[in-house]
Chain A
Amino acid sequence: MIDVKDLVVSYGTATALEHVTLTVGRGELVALLGPNGAGKSTLANTLAGLLTPASGTVSIGGRLALIPEGRQLFPDLTVADNLALGGWRSGQRDPSPVYDLLPRLAELAGRRAGVLSGGEQQMVAFGRAMMSRPEVLVVDELSLGLAPNVTADLAAHLAELNRSQGLTVLLIEQNARLAFELCRRAYVLESGRVVTEGDSAELAGDPRVASAYLGGAIT
């Protein structure tokens, strides 16, 4: 579903991703771990078609939606408008299906997105992405700045969508505990390179990954 081969992405002379290769199969839920500055968001933006690779290939086997880092809502517009604009590509402007999935959003529909709490904003970002009826969802830092119970709630929704609708998910995270709980497989990215990959259970037992999870560098 996501097939990235030998991907190189540069900003001017600085290389953000160096020969990254990763795959996410249809219906899989895969994590991408890495510290700040590893190139995670660069990869997310490249998958979403917002950045052009310097070399390598990116192949996406279905409609892709991105929940960007930091929510990135339209703060001056209402929740309902934010959701409606999420359907720009798919042509779906009626947010009812998203309200069925996330009923809290129906209660917030008339509120300006900029005044909501972090958890509510992440829920809007989630709903906005679902408005495009994606087959692949790339989530950039689901847990960033959110209380653990809010993160757990959103993670449960992700897992449910993966189970019930076969939604393919690439979860880009710094929170390794969350990533390993949710995903069977994971990649670890550092300084623009995939340094290790494998089953979540095995990676969780890897001292180098434990070090990264604690915020240290992988050696």
Chain B
Amino acid sequence: MSAFLTYLLNGLAVGCAIALIASGLVVIHRVTGVVNFAQGTFAVVAGLCMSSLLGMGLPHGLSEVAAVLVAALAGLLTGLAAIGRRGTTALSALIITLGVGVLAYAVEIVLWGDQPRSAPGLAGSVIVAGARIQTQHLLVIGVTAATFVLLALFFGRTYLGKALTACASNPYAARVVGIDTRLMGLLAFALGGLLGGLAGVLVTPLRPISFDTDVTLIVNGFAAAVFGALTRPVITLAGALLLGVAETMAAGYGYGSHQLEIALGLMIVVMIVQAGRRPAVTQEST
């Protein structure tokens, strides 16, 4: 029973990290309509940056914040490439983000090499209801919960958040009232970079990160994001937690090498189900 609870709690932490990646995908897609396949790259950039900064002797806290800001900058640059030119279609932008992800491999290998890097996180573990959970896992859960609350407040309560929602809701009307939809899109990309970076600095102490870790991250994040139809953050969070727990359970009970297949399988099933429902949804909205 305590093994089950351990897997469950650790799975929730893994799911939280996935949720952060997925929330970046959702924020960017909601505002710009673009599926950003470079989302995993932001986490990798932040993780590698953090390991370097800590290695250079910068203190914890400062290193993590700087790494997340670098990821936000990477998000902004990706946004400039993807939607900076007015009239770029969402499909073209998607291809550009794929290209950015591949280009990032080269940059990362030049800067950090091709070997996995790690970084120290919060040491130790605590016992919760008889189950042992790493303190770093608790940190991941806490930061994710706080991030989702802040995101909900930002989009639901602030003027800027509502302007971003307006861009997603009706881009033409947003332009009519004077909102610069391209600027808002770039802001969404920067926010997506920040969220991806947050996932990167939280995950790097748990599992070493290398230039190609983005594939695992984006597959998991995308699976959770399609669960929330790429637009609904709360359902995305639920999907991410489900995925994290399912993967950790699989690993815990001896199917560790099939974690990615679980994410891919779930993503395919959800996409098939949603594709089947789409005509009805389209009819409702027209």
A85 and B172 contact, Cβ closer than 8 Å, known pairs A128-B177, A132-B178 = no
Give chain A residues whose Cβ lies under 8 Å from the Cβ of B159.
84, 93
B164: min CB distance to chain A, Å: 11
Give chain A residues whose Cβ lies under 8 Å from the Cβ of B169.
74-77
* A86 CA to B176 CA, complexed, in Å: 9
Closest to B173 in A: A72
In the complex, the answer to whether B170 meets A88 with C-beta atoms within 8 Å is: no
In the complex, the answer to whether B177 meets A89 with C-beta atoms within 8 Å is: yes
In the complex, the answer to whether B173 meets A74 with C-beta atoms within 8 Å is: yes
A77: min CB distance to chain B, Å: 6
Give chain B residues whose Cβ lies under 8 Å from the Cβ of A85.
162-163, 166, 174, 177, 179
* A73 CA to B172 CA, complexed, in Å: 10
* A111 CA to B233 CA, complexed, in Å: 22
In the complex, the answer to whether A77 meets B163 with C-beta atoms within 8 Å is: no
Closest to A131 in B: B177
Chain A, 55-69, CB within 8 A of any chain B CB:
66, 68
Give chain B residues whose Cβ lies under 8 Å from the Cβ of A74.
165-166, 169-170, 173-174
Specify the main secondary structure of chain A where it touches its partner.
loop
Chain B, 149-193, CB within 8 A of any chain A CB:
159, 162-163, 165-166, 169-170, 172-179
Give chain A residues whose Cβ lies under 8 Å from the Cβ of B177.
85-86, 88-89, 128, 132
Cβ of A48 < 8 Å from any Cβ of B? yes
Query: Count of B residues near A, CB < 8 Å?
Result: 15
B167: min CB distance to chain A, Å: 9
Specify the main secondary structure of chain B where it touches its partner.
helix
Cβ of A81 < 8 Å from any Cβ of B? yes
Closest to B172 in A: A72
Select which of B163, B176, B179 is within 8 A of A72 by beta carbon. B176
B233: min CB distance to chain A, Å: 13
Give chain A residues whose Cβ lies under 8 Å from the Cβ of B173.
68, 72-74
In the complex, the answer to whether A73 meets B162 with C-beta atoms within 8 Å is: no
A50 and B162 contact, Cβ closer than 8 Å, known pairs A72-B170, A76-B169 = no
Give chain A residues whose Cβ lies under 8 Å from the Cβ of B162.
77, 81, 84-85
* A93 CA to B157 CA, complexed, in Å: 13
B105: min CB distance to chain A, Å: 37
Give chain A residues whose Cβ lies under 8 Å from the Cβ of B179.
85, 88
Select which of B165, B175, B178 is within 8 A of A77 by beta carbon. B165
Give chain B residues whose Cβ lies under 8 Å from the Cβ of A76.
165, 169
Chain B, 177-236, CB within 8 A of any chain A CB:
177-179
* A89 CA to B172 CA, complexed, in Å: 15
Give chain B residues whose Cβ lies under 8 Å from the Cβ of A75.
169-170
* A66 CA to B173 CA, complexed, in Å: 10
Give chain A residues whose Cβ lies under 8 Å from the Cβ of B172.
50, 68, 72
A196: min CB distance to chain B, Å: 29
Give chain A residues whose Cβ lies under 8 Å from the Cβ of B175.
50
Closest to A81 in B: B162
Most chain B C-beta atoms within 10 Å of own C-beta, residue among A73, A74, A77, A128: A74
B282: min CB distance to chain A, Å: 15
Give chain A residues whose Cβ lies under 8 Å from the Cβ of B166.
74, 77, 85
Give chain B residues whose Cβ lies under 8 Å from the Cβ of A89.
177-178
* A98 CA to B170 CA, complexed, in Å: 22
B22: min CB distance to chain A, Å: 20
A209: min CB distance to chain B, Å: 30
- Offer 17 A-B interface pairs, CB within 8 angstroms, sorted by A: A50-B172, A50-B176, A68-B173, A74-B165, A74-B166, A74-B174, A75-B169, A76-B165, A77-B166, A81-B162, A85-B162, A85-B166, A85-B177, A89-B178, A128-B177, A132-B177, A132-B178
Chain A residues within CB distance 8 Å of chain B: 48, 50, 66, 68, 72-77, 81, 84-86, 88-89, 93, 128, 132
Chain B residues within CB distance 8 Å of chain A: 159, 162-163, 165-166, 169-170, 172-179
Identify the 6 closest CB pairs spanning chains A and B, nearest first.
A89-B178, A72-B173, A74-B169, A74-B166, A88-B178, A76-B169
With contacts A50-B176, A72-B172, A74-B174 known, what are 10 further pairs, Cβ within 8 A? Answer: A68-B172, A72-B170, A72-B173, A73-B170, A74-B166, A81-B162, A84-B162, A85-B163, A85-B177, A85-B179
